[in-house]
């Protein structure tokens, strides 16, 4: 790595240079991160320790919670720690590792959200064939494909970034290492890598969002033929999924689906898909899901006896 760059570390400019703002952000993001960890671990343990684990939807939900923890943990602890120090630095190697983890776990989460939409489509539109189509072997295959997709997406991107020379300045106007801010400080023409990143990240986010949107439109159209109780239950589940999709994809598309440039507002939008959406996922999936609430009460009530 170091043979490609004269820079041994990068300086992160963070969210703000105002000390009062940094103190407020420290308290806020620490609470958000604790809530995220507690909420997602609560879902994970409740699913693993209950019969829900054998249902495909909750099997996928447990993997989504795992990805939320891994994805956010690649950024948030560093952000929280940096809010307490004046000079925010990250080594070249850790910066490249952060880029890899962000895109690796991020794409896995995107693909698992897609798998969950497919699961709901089969459950609502093909209910009689649901257990045949979404069997455990296929569930494992879909999750494995999501992990493979994360690797296929992230390894080439990081390999391309590593090839770029960084000779100064080494200040990144962000609170974590990401592709576009790094392209901005590279000491070479980055138009081609920028276009490749736009296609591989921006188009993936857009296409996935369109696929998810169309699948839920089909699901909602199909619900017309269901009973009132069936519509209520299906809408509750799909409403949770749609909320998660919008919170995650809207800011991602705004940042990645455009020419490779950066704006000060990017840091605010990035908070939505790195901290806010993963934090709200447990609340969205538990508050609107009767089976999940029953499982949580049963598992944790028995554990307290």
Residue 249 CA to residue 231 CA, distance in Å, equals 26
Does residue 304 register a pLDDT over 80? no
Strand 9-12 to strand 171-172: parallel, antiparallel, or no bridges (unpaired)? Answer: parallel
**Token digits of residue 196:** 């490749």
- Tell me which H or E stretch contains 89: strand 89-91
**Confidence band for 1, pLDDT divided at 50, 70 and 90:** very low
**Confidence band for 3, pLDDT divided at 50, 70 and 90:** very low
Residue 268 CA to residue 160 CA, distance in Å, equals 26
**Token digits of residue 234:** 């299906």
Summary mean pLDDT of the chain: 84
pLDDT digits (tens, 9 = 90+) for 214-241: 888 888 787 777 677 667 766 766 777 7
Comparing C-alpha atoms, which of 43, 128, 37 is closest to residue 80? 37
Which pLDDT score is estimated for 125?
82
For 18-29, b/e burial (b = at least 16 CB within 10 A) is: eeeebeebbeeb
| pTM, to two decimals | 0.87
Which pLDDT score is estimated for 230?
67
* In CATH, 9-296 is 1.20.1070.10: yes
Residue 184 CA to residue 68 CA, distance in Å, equals 28
pLDDT digits (tens, 9 = 90+) for 54-111: 889 889 999 999 999 999 999 999 999 998 888 889 999 999 999 999 999 999 998 9
Q: What is the mean pLDDT of residues 17-39?
A: 90
Q: What is the SS3 assignment for 178?
A: coil
Which pLDDT score is estimated for 167?
82
Residues in the chain: 305
100 within 8 A of 154, measured Cβ to Cβ? yes
143 within 8 A of 115, measured Cβ to Cβ? yes
Q: Can you tell me which residue has the tokens 């499982």? A: 295
Does residue 162 register a pLDDT over 70? yes
Strand partners, 10: 90
Strand 171-172 to strand 89-91: parallel, antiparallel, or no bridges (unpaired)? Answer: unpaired
Which pLDDT score is estimated for 2?
43
Which pLDDT score is estimated for 63?
93
Q: Can you tell me which residue has the tokens 């099997």? A: 59
Q: What is the mean pLDDT of residues 268-286?
A: 84
Does residue 165 register a pLDDT over 70? yes
pLDDT digits (tens, 9 = 90+) for 194-207: 777 777 777 888 88
The domains of the chain are located at 9-296
198 within 8 A of 256, measured Cβ to Cβ? yes
Does residue 277 register a pLDDT over 50? yes
Residue 11's CB: how many other CB atoms inside 10 A? 16
More confident residue, 132 or 3: 132
């Amino acid at each position: 790595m170091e043979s490609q760059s004269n820079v041994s570390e990068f300086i992160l400019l963070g969210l703000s240079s105002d000390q009062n703002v940094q103190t407020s952000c420290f308290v806020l993001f620490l609470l958000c991160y604790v809530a995220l960890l507690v909420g997602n671990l609560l879902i994970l343990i409740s699913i693993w320790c209950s019969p829900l684990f054998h249902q495909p939807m909750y099997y996928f939900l447990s993997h989504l919670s795992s990805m939320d923890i891994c994805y956010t943990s690649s950024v948030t602890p560093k952000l929280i720690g940096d809010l307490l120090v004046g000079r925010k630095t990250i080594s070249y190697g850790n910066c490249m590792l952060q880029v890899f983890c962000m895109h690796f776990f991020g794409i896995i989460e995107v693909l698992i959200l897609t798998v969950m939409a497919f699961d709901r489509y089969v459950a609502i539109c093909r209910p009689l064939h649901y257990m045949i189509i979404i069997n455990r072997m296929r569930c494992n295959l879909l999750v494995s494909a999501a992990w493979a997709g994360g690797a296929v997406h992230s390894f080439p991107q990081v390999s391309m970034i590593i090839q770029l020379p960084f000779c100064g300045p080494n200040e990144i106007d962000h609170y974590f290492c990401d592709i576009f801010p790094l392209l901005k400080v590279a000491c070479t023409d980055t138009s081609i890598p920028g276009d490749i990143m736009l296609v591989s990240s921006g188009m993936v986010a857009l296409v996935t969002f369109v696929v998810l949107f169309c699948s839920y439109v089909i699901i909602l159209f199909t619900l017309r033929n269901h009973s009132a109780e069936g519509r209520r239950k299906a809408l509750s589940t799909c409403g949770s999924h749609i909320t998660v999709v919008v919170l995650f994809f809207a800011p991602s598309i705004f940042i990645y689906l455009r020419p490779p440039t950066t704006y000060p507002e990017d840091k605010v939008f990035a908070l939505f898909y790195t901290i806010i959406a993963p934090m709200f996922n447990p609340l969205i999936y538990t508050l609107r899901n009767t089976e999940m609430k029953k499982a949580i009460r049963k598992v944790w009530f028995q554990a307290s006896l």
